A and B are shown apart, each in its own frame.
Chain A
């Protein structure tokens, strides 16, 4: 769900506080990564999703200031960046806890007891979907099918899929959880160099 009304198509009708308070300056290394990524596409604008993943991996979430920095690095209008950020659920427009706990709420997980997991998160950690624990350690999200339904009910904790889960198993995983691998680290490869060499 993107907008406050839960519809991707509808814009954020209610202005949401999204300013982090300080301008975002992307480090030189990130800017170089962005240039390399842009060179992998016939239209450099196509790099926006990997670039947003990278920026979010570094900053933890996408503030309005981060959008501005991305718009500049991507040579794109801010409005176009904003449009992309708000369409996709993996981009978070609010600060997040250090560990993400994404519990699947779709059919196979529902059939095998996802509701119990949500109830447990509420009772034990005091969080509903979309909320962060008071200590800032974790943010819970209710997500749609993560396509690991054979392990239903399941969750993605940090970067890794876990299941089948019980409340006790969930506690154990949460206690051990560390921030994991990131999307941007997973998609950098030799073809970037090969393509750069070609140009």
Chain B
């Protein structure tokens, strides 16, 4: 069963984006008022004890991240809120931005107190026009009520919150690319170290947190760290919002505790695979996550540890369901196209590798592939992994390699049949390209065409 609902209980109520309603029905900002009287170190300890982990994708312990911020010197500290929601399959942050933005703003006040920041930037993906408007409306109300701005909540300090629009680039969800983008540059990730906690936005100590992570903070403080931790399982406290999509009867966002069984999500909450078909595979944590076969899915639970132990990841909590009538080549082609399209281009293994992967997958999809192309795909993935500036490299290599490894028999049979995949003609732009054999012949020479 799903939990009684924390964030979902808010965003499912009408008008919860309005300050008066949020204060009256959900006691909004009550925890922020309390937390700002605590020592910042005590706030961080509470978040650590609660075992809150980052829900943006990496699952990094939130309290620990905050504790990396150095003692306050002459540089300002910043909070950057990652609302660039872009991982394919994920659509939970927009629920919060639209439905309960005051939970986020309250979380921002709590975090800024803990890291001694007087300014937060919320980087929202540029397509989220209504979301930005809703959020800006909530911020305006919070300023008017003295929750933000000069002497916010009577603290004698200021706290400014600025909504910043992105402009269409998946890579800007990566925290250092997001910082570069926010600074007014191309969104290309930085080499680490230094990590943002030491040198982030405008070269100042910066914490980057996801919308959902911050929005759970009021609940964490309301119930107390121990109770929050006890809600979860396997080393992560609390619950999370799972985005369920693909071949499922009832797609949507479901709030479940950490460790929730995958099949209960799919067959219970999600109403089962659509059209009474059978399950073929599940992508458990956004497109970047290695795929699980239907058998593996039986054992899977939705938490960082269980999925990592299974060789996949919980990522952004996006579960994509694939039915048994879906040819794996369609999945492979679509995924490789995405990463080729979105690579920021600064590392050769990722820029060229994602291009080769896509070209090879397209060649296979057009019925021009050879069985050894599958080995070539794995080889390219192996060479991307670990050799790039940011985790986009792994996000490309892991899923694609997992499709080939787990569905090799089907893909081989497809290649041998010489068939053309139903999805192959969808890539209109690429149909005009020269015959693929010419450009994809020898991997080593393909870079010249990039």
Q: Which of A118, A143, A150, A187 is within 8 Å of B252, CB to CB?
A: A150
A146 sits at the interface (CB 8 A):
yes
Stretch at the interface among B4-12, B87-95, B297-305: B87-95
B290 sits at the interface (CB 8 A):
no
Write out, one digit per residue, whether chain B residues 38-59 have a CB within 8 A of any chain A CB (1) or not (0).
0000000000000000000000
Inter-chain CA distance A99–B337, complex, in Å, is: 26
Query: Which residue of chain A is the closest to B337 with respect to CB atoms?
Result: A105
Question: Smallest distance from the beta carbon of B360 to chain A beta carbons, Å?
Answer: 16
> Which residues 8-63 of A have a CB within 8 angstroms of B?
8-10, 40-43, 45-50, 52-53
Question: Smallest distance from the beta carbon of A3 to chain B beta carbons, Å?
Answer: 9
B247 sits at the interface (CB 8 A):
yes
CB-CB under 8 A from A46, the residues of chain B are 164, 182-184
A126 sits at the interface (CB 8 A):
no
B320 sits at the interface (CB 8 A):
yes
Question: Smallest distance from the beta carbon of B149 to chain A beta carbons, Å?
Answer: 5
CB-CB under 8 A from A80, the residues of chain B are 185
Write out, one digit per residue, whether chain B residues 73-86 have a CB within 8 A of any chain A CB (1) or not (0).
00010000000011
CB-CB under 8 A from A122, the residues of chain B are 428
Once the chains bind, are B129 and A183 in contact (CB under 8 Å)?
A: yes
Query: Which residue of chain A is the closest to B247 with respect to CB atoms?
Result: A111
B213 sits at the interface (CB 8 A):
no
Query: Which residue of chain A is the closest to B139 with respect to CB atoms?
Result: A189
CB-CB under 8 A from B318, the residues of chain A are 149
Write out, one digit per residue, whether chain B residues 152-177 have a CB within 8 A of any chain A CB (1) or not (0).
00000010111111111111000000
Inter-chain CA distance A34–B102, complex, in Å, is: 28
Question: Smallest distance from the beta carbon of B334 to chain A beta carbons, Å?
Answer: 5
With A46-B183, A49-B166, A191-B161 given, is the CB distance from A107 to B344 under 8 Å?
no
A77 sits at the interface (CB 8 A):
no
Once the chains bind, are B168 and A108 in contact (CB under 8 Å)?
A: no
Once the chains bind, are A194 and B94 in contact (CB under 8 Å)?
A: no
Question: Smallest distance from the beta carbon of A102 to chain B beta carbons, Å?
Answer: 8
Inter-chain CA distance A42–B80, complex, in Å, is: 14
Once the chains bind, are A147 and B94 in contact (CB under 8 Å)?
A: yes
CB-CB under 8 A from B85, the residues of chain A are 147
B306 sits at the interface (CB 8 A):
no
A106 sits at the interface (CB 8 A):
yes
Q: Which of A10, A87, A183 is within 8 Å of B169, CB to CB?
A: A87
Once the chains bind, are B89 and A108 in contact (CB under 8 Å)?
A: yes
Query: Which residue of chain B is the closest to A44 with respect to CB atoms?
Result: B184
Inter-chain CA distance A124–B448, complex, in Å, is: 38
Write out, one digit per residue, whether chain A residues 178-191 have a CB within 8 A of any chain B CB (1) or not (0).
00111101111111
B271 sits at the interface (CB 8 A):
no
Inter-chain CA distance A159–B128, complex, in Å, is: 8
Question: Smallest distance from the beta carbon of B350 to chain A beta carbons, Å?
Answer: 9
A176 sits at the interface (CB 8 A):
no
Q: Which of B90, B164, B202, B341 is within 8 Å of A49, CB to CB?
A: B164
CB-CB under 8 A from A149, the residues of chain B are 88-91, 243, 245-246, 251, 318, 320
Question: Smallest distance from the beta carbon of B140 to chain A beta carbons, Å?
Answer: 5
With A90-B168, A147-B91 given, is the CB distance from A107 to B184 under 8 Å?
no
> Which residues 220-245 of B have a CB within 8 angstroms of A?
243-245
A88 sits at the interface (CB 8 A):
yes
CB-CB under 8 A from B160, the residues of chain A are 191, 194-195
Once the chains bind, are A152 and B202 in contact (CB under 8 Å)?
A: no
> Which residues 337-372 of B have a CB within 8 angstroms of A?
337-338, 340-346, 351, 355
> Which residues 297-348 of B have a CB within 8 angstroms of A?
318, 320, 322, 326, 330-331, 334-335, 337-338, 340-346
Query: Which residue of chain B is the closest to A87 with respect to CB atoms?
Result: B186
- Going nearest first, the 5 A-B pairs with the smallest beta carbon separation are A9-B345, A88-B167, A90-B168, A89-B168, A149-B245
Binding site for B on A (CB under 8 A): 1, 5-10, 40-43, 45-50, 52-53, 76, 80, 83-84, 87-91, 102, 105-108, 110-112, 114-115, 118, 122, 128-130, 142-152, 156, 159-160, 180-183, 185-191, 194-195, 198
